[in-house]
Amino acid sequence: MPLDPAPVADDMPGGDSPALAPAPADLFIFGDSHTAALELGARAEGIRTGLLYLSGNIWHKGEITLHPKLELDQPGSRYVRRRVTEARDAMGGVMFRPDVPVLASAGYHLGRLLPPMTHQGHGVDPAVLDRDPDASFMSSALFETLITLRRRSVWRLLRLLATRCDLTVIAPPILSDDPMVAMAAGYITRRLREQGLNVFDPREVEGPLGQILPPHWRAEDGVHGNAAYGQAVLQHILED
């Protein structure tokens, strides 16, 4: 079914600037908490890195927009503005620039996206009906519609940013064999690519990266990758 696009400001600095000062970083990473592994991995690789981290909750709300001066903003949020300003300053005044590749851990935020969908006992795996006598089945079409509803504004933001810089979206690591997570991640990756975005999704990689995150690649909290995982992701991307 047609879904109305969220309004997003379309103009921003960087793209039309005739001359930019040399970047203080070789890579810019932005997004949710999975940016930590990427940044640690980049540092381990000796890559100078700029970072903008905003909680997955903030991305989940879908209120981050382009801003003509700040590049990114969440209207009404001084916290976001402060974090953006810090990141811009660290990048010499421009976060998204043609000469600095950008990794985006954004557009997924599955930890916020999926749990609310299960409040009524819904699952996307038919086996859920055998496991739980109170469970309900949700078709893949409905599941994808709900994901699109929640993520379309972030996807549009990523698409606009990709016109200003060399942007690659990094899908989150594989933390479990939950079919709902796998289906959601696969769908988002497909939709992002349909919009012309470069996406690295570990689910498509053969070998350890494409499997459930082993303990030695997990952060202490157990639900994020660590520096070694981030390093492995970066090496894979660089090899490509």
Partner 1 sequence: MKAEKGVSTQQPDFRPIIARIVDNLDRMSTSSQNPYQSLPPTAYWRTGVAEPGLEGLKGLWASPWQLPADARFATFGSCFAQHISRALRAREMGWVDGEPAPSGATPKIAAHFGYGVFSARTANIYSAAQFRLLLALACGQGDPDQPEVWQDGPRFRDSLRPMIEPDGFVSVAEALASRRSMLRGLARAVRQADVVVFTLGLTEGWESVETGLPYAACPGTQGGAFDAARHRFVNYRAAGIRADLEASLQHIRLLNPEARLLLTVSPVPLTASASGQHVLVATMRSKSVLRGVAGELAEDDARVDYFPSYEIITGAPTASRFFEENLRSVRPEGVAMVMGHFFAGLDLSGPARAPLADNAAEARRAAARAAMAHEELACEEAMLEAYNAA
Residues engaged in binding partner 1 (CB under 8 A): 1, 32-37, 39-40, 43, 53, 55-57, 111-112, 115-122, 126, 129, 133-142, 145-146, 149-150, 219-224, 227
Least distance between partner 1 and beta carbon 224 (Å): 4
Least distance between partner 1 and beta carbon 51 (Å): 8
| Contact yes or no for 169/198 (Cβ under 8 A) | yes
**Burial of 236 per CB tally in 10 Å (0-12, 13-18, 19+):** middle
Would you say 20 or 228 has its CB closer to partner 1? 228
Least distance between partner 1 and beta carbon 189 (Å): 17
Would you say 142 or 212 has its CB closer to partner 1? 142
Least distance between partner 1 and beta carbon 211 (Å): 21
Q: How far apart are the first and last CA of the chain?
A: 36
| Contact yes or no for 128/137 (Cβ under 8 A) | yes
Would you say 39 or 73 has its CB closer to partner 1? 39
Complete DSSP assignment for 54-89? --HHHHHHT--EEETTTEEE-TT-HHHHHHHHHHHH
Report the DSSP beta bridge partners of residue 123.
137
Q: How far is CA 158 from CA 9, 85, 122, 193, in A?
A: 13, 19, 29, 11
Count of CB atoms situated within 10 Å of the CB of 102? 23
Would you say 9 or 44 has its CB closer to partner 1? 44
Least distance between partner 1 and beta carbon 140 (Å): 5
Single-letter residue type at 29:
I
Would you say 122 or 236 has its CB closer to partner 1? 122
Would you say 164 or 217 has its CB closer to partner 1? 217
Inter-axis angle of helices 140-161 and 179-194, to 10 degrees?
Answer: 40
Least distance between partner 1 and beta carbon 223 (Å): 5
Residues with Cβ within 8 Å of 136's Cβ and at least 6 positions away in sequence, in order, are 120, 121, 122, 123
Helix residue ranges per DSSP H, the chain: 35-44, 56-61, 78-90, 110-113, 128-131, 140-161, 179-194, 227-239
Would you say 147 or 157 has its CB closer to partner 1? 147
Least distance between partner 1 and beta carbon 237 (Å): 19
